[in-house]
Amino acid sequence: ANNAVFNDADCTNANFKLADLRGASFSNATLYGTNFEGARVHSVSLVGAKLNNIPSGMVDISEKGDGSRLVPIAQWLSTTGIALP
């Protein structure tokens, strides 16, 4: 899903586990219960996205998506500008 566009999408309970989401846009998307465990998330846009909880687990924020920069999902979300619950 590299550079995929999920703007305004309802991604409730979507499973993006281990997905390559680098450059994807989730602007104004609903992300309730979404699984990002192990996803590659460099340059993902979450402007206006909605969460109902902060998922647990780790994501890869490395530019190359090579697993060299794993961080907790909560830490990644805190850098995206999304309004956290």
Does residue 82 register a pLDDT over 90?
Answer: no
Looking at per-residue pLDDT, the higher value among 83 and 50 belongs to 50
The pairing of strands 70-72 and 58-60 is antiparallel
DSSP class of 75: H
Beta bridge partners of residue 71, listed in sequence order:
59
Q: State what percent of residues in the chain have pLDDT above 70.
A: 99
Q: How confident is the model at residue 1 (pLDDT cuts 50, 70, 90)?
A: low
- 3-state SS, residue 79: coil
Pairwise CA distance, residues 41 & 25, whole Å: 10
